[in-house]
Structure 1
């Protein structure tokens, strides 16, 4: 049995259904008719990091130990990137399969793990070297496909300019990913092939529903049609780590926290740089024109880079740590939802959480629209050994809202700037295969359900550690996977990374892509 899982970062029916209805995506239309489709819930916050690892392990962020791109360490008073493979606890579900696996372009999996097969890491945290297992695969990919992990001209992406030189680079990357998928599938050696198309959501972030995004989906539609024609394929699933929607307003959560007395800031070198006119927007074009931007990013420590403010004087990530008055602050937030209470006293921590929830629930923007769908306690969202070092409050941003995590802007609300599309917690799921029930309604489908369901489909036991459910309702009544009882077993984690370390800085890519806003 060979199963292909196509992961479309940020994919959702809200965006593509009009294009399906207009006939622009005939393959997705056929999949909807001959297979089963459903919305699918993501883990909160609905972001690439950690949702791709939640999919791959079947576990929630409280077990993974990673909740967003950055981690707030209350004891050490630091804010650092957390998105490489070694940052996550857990075992990828394909490690429990008997057959070989090909994993292509999985975000937050750098450095790649040893697998029975091949593993090609992807996403913002992956480097252009050391991204394959086995290592010998890397030169083969580059020679045969001109394979690249990232587009070269990523810094040219701008929501105001869809005609920049990076967009065609992304189209080429999409085709190359599918070329690799098809060639791996043709070998007939694999029980599972997984492919993630990551830079699709980057286009959606910058251009949301513009023609440049539609053309990317049309290209994917054509390539999926070719995959479905391959005789080696038996089961085909499409899924996303989260959904997307257009941005109407930006909510600057740390500005709100500061104005309401939860966050205190102090002067830093960033303030002096801003007053001197030394900002990211002014320095980076000069470095790029001189051809030294890449070298500056590689040679300067990440902490130094993050001291450089933007035009509004705002700083992010480790730069935030230097402007926070840790002694007198009660809370600080990351982008897209996580809020951390800054006290070691358990009773005081609970009191501040109660106060935050009371103050944030019902908050509206300047037009009177709700800013959040839900304001939740972290311990009600997550479970596992890492809950205590996760966010105390999780803001589920409402439709059309982008929560920005920078510190330093004077206004709580603003218009969309770098991004025009934001993530939301409703992604997509499509199932197609000989035992898939095309009429299955699949209520409450969750990203955590995929790993245990695929293990069950392939006749494997499901680890007790997995949080998701086996969705036997996905399969036709009377079929073998529908009839067979689910077998849950208590197994330990299989090592998910090898001995290589991944201490390289990924902040530059996160900045270019807008994730650290």
Structure 2
């Protein structure tokens, strides 16, 4: 069947990790996923840094590293160093590179895309597209627009107390969220099944974002997680049988782990190590004291911790760090995205080398444990027009620590915010990859796969040339030795990019920003 036109299905199991899946697969708790794992090729899938869905998914669907996209985290590249400029939230038009579905559409392939993050506003495709995470409530989220009427009670995100959110801000809402998430996941599945049946796409991609949400809330309760995964497993099998693709990709955008137990104040550490100079302004000192008083109060009184809203607790932690730094005399400073060296620093490379060495030695003063499991160098991971604006290093802490950019009295403190959040993913860059298909090896393992590699691999399967400026490589190890798909083909020139524009109203930005805070992405 080598001459048959390839039909490709991509299923995102958002936040899935083999730490969970492997024991369940061995015990055959997940029928279809276990079958795919045992019959096809599997391996870890390394994401981009930092490990955020709003960055990982655009890198997946463009095949490029963050230095070529113009976005970083939830915002635009030019905004990441300016804590005061928080107006522009990333949308699909900010991604300065053509998407996988646009390229396939131009090649005459019929595509279907459902619930992939950073696809709002929906772009025209040869087929259908339903946007995902970060879609403003009430706005058009389908292409073609008339599709919205046809999909009935489909919902983009969860609704809590009259406003959209992703994660609740109290324990009492968790049970209701689980039921709501299960219902929304069912609706997404049924909508996808209906569209596959009626539209017959050559390429179909869908993301089960609910897995990420449930793991954030119930990471410590593996029985609840398994119940949710079982239902998703059932849905994936039905979608697969309906489409009958020649090749199936099961993937996730990052891994997952238990929530942090302590804060590590990176700018306080940089100050103590001589890299950062604190402003001597009176207002900065006053603000710092207010912040510290707030932290102590929240940590000391359980009742106060419950009464304070999430946004208030966030404000205690994020209120004043920017204005307290003397940037003229500072060599390096930290943000939520990573550590930046002062561009005025004459001996930048010498400073970076020493900084990396000092970070490798950084310890928890309470127990002597190392803080960081890995230090990502920007020059090794970022390239392109925007690379110079990205962090010089992205420190990946051990899971028990959460990095905070605030200047504090201490380097390490007990974590007091969001006690109901049980799982996080900022310290686990390894998602999952499971592939099965007519040209795929059987019962094999693949190593070294990156999330950007899926873009050219899928295009290769569908006999479409990849843009020449992508970073991903065709995963030749997936395929049988005699397979024609082991050969990669690149286009002679790049595909044009559209002009980026802001697609959110101010009120929408505020609501979406709150959702991002709940996700711990801000």
Superposition TM-score, scaled by structure 1 size: 0.83
Structure 1 partner of 2:3: none
Question: Quick check: 1:117 aligned with 2:123?
Answer: no
Of 54, 58, 66, which residue of structure 1 is paired with 2:59?
A: 54
Q: Describe how 1:393-412 pairs up with structure 2 within 5 A.
A: 393-398=393-398, 400-412=399-411
Match of residue 303 from structure 1:
none
1:334 aligns with 2:335: yes
Distance 1:19 1:441, change over 3 A: closer
Map residues 274-353 of structure 1 onto 2, 5 A cutoff: 309-310=312-313, 313-315=316-318, 320-335=321-336, 338-341=338-341, 343-345=342-344, 347-353=346-352
Q: Does the CA-based 8 Å contact 1:338-1:391 persist in structure 2?
A: yes
Superposed CA offset, 1:176-224 (max 9, x none): 2212221121124311111112232122223224133222212111111
* 3-state SS, counterpart of residue 462 of structure 1: coil
Instruction: Quote the Cα distance in structure 2 between the aligned partners of 1:282 and 1:138.
Output: 44
Deviations 1:45-65 (A, max 9, x none): 222121101100000011112
Q: Is the 8 A contact 2:24 2:30 kept in 1?
A: yes
Give 1:42's aligned residue.
Answer: 47
2:278 is the counterpart of 1:264: yes
CA separation in 2, counterparts of 1:185 and 1:24?
27
Question: Do structure 1's residue 376 and structure 2's residue 380 form an aligned pair?
Answer: no
- CA–CA distance in structure 2, aligned partners of residues 311 and 77 of structure 1: 14
Structure 1: where are the runs of 5+ without partners?
Answer: 294-307
DSSP 3-state at the match of 1:489: coil
Cα contact 2:116–2:131 (8 A) shared by 1: yes
Shift of 1:274: 5.9
Aligned to 1:432: 436
Q: 1:332 to 1:84 in 2, by over 3 A?
A: farther
CA drift of 1:510 comes to 0.9
- Does the aligned pair in 1 maintain the 2:95–2:500 contact within 8 Å? no
The superposition leaves residues 459-482 of structure 1 with CA deviations (integer Å, 9 ceiling, x where unpaired) of 111221111111122122323424
Answer yes or no: is the 8 Å Cα contact 1:39–1:428 preserved in 2: yes
Residue 443 (structure 1) aligned with residue 447 (structure 2): yes
Aligned residues of 2:112 and 2:205 also touching (Cα < 8 A): yes
Alpha-carbon distance, 1:173 to partner: 1.9
CA contact (8 A) 2:133 2:156 kept: no
Counting only pairs closer than 5 Å after superposition, residues 114-513 of structure 1 correspond to structure 2 as 114-124=124-134, 126-141=136-151, 144-152=152-160, 154=165, 157=168, 163-210=174-221, 211-230=223-242, 232-250=244-262, 251-261=264-274, 262=276, 264=278, 267=283, 309-310=312-313, 313-315=316-318, 320-335=321-336, 338-341=338-341, 343-345=342-344, 347-365=346-364, 366-398=366-398, 400-415=399-414, 417-418=417-418, 419-423=421-425, 424-482=428-486, 485-495=487-497, 501-503=503-505, 504-505=508-509, 506-513=512-519
Listed one character per residue, the Cα deviations across residues 392-444 of structure 1 (whole Å, up to 9, x for unaligned) are 1111333x244333425544334555232221111100112222112333221
Measure, in 2, the Cα distance between the counterparts of 1:231 and 1:74.
41
Q: Deviations over 1:126-185 (max 9, x none)?
A: 5441222222223333xx234233343647625855744222211222212212221121
Please report the RMSD computed on the Cα atoms of aligned residues, expressed in angstroms. Answer: 3.4
TM-score by length of 2: 0.83
Give the Cα separation in 2 of the matches to 1:183 and 1:364. 54
Give the conservation status (yes or no) of the 8 Å contact 1:36–1:438. yes
Structure-2 residue corresponding to 1:515: 521
Aligned equivalent of 2:116, options 96, 101, 106: 106
Aligned length: 489
Aligned-pair CA distance for 1:497: 7.5
Q: Which residue number corresponds to residue 90 of structure 1?
A: 97
Query: Partners in 1 of 2:50 and 2:435 — Cα distance?
Result: 25
Task: Decide whether aligned partners of structure 1 residues 188 and 475 sit closer, same or farther in structure 2, where only a CA change above 3 A counts.
Answer: farther
* Conserved 8 A contact 1:41-1:446: yes
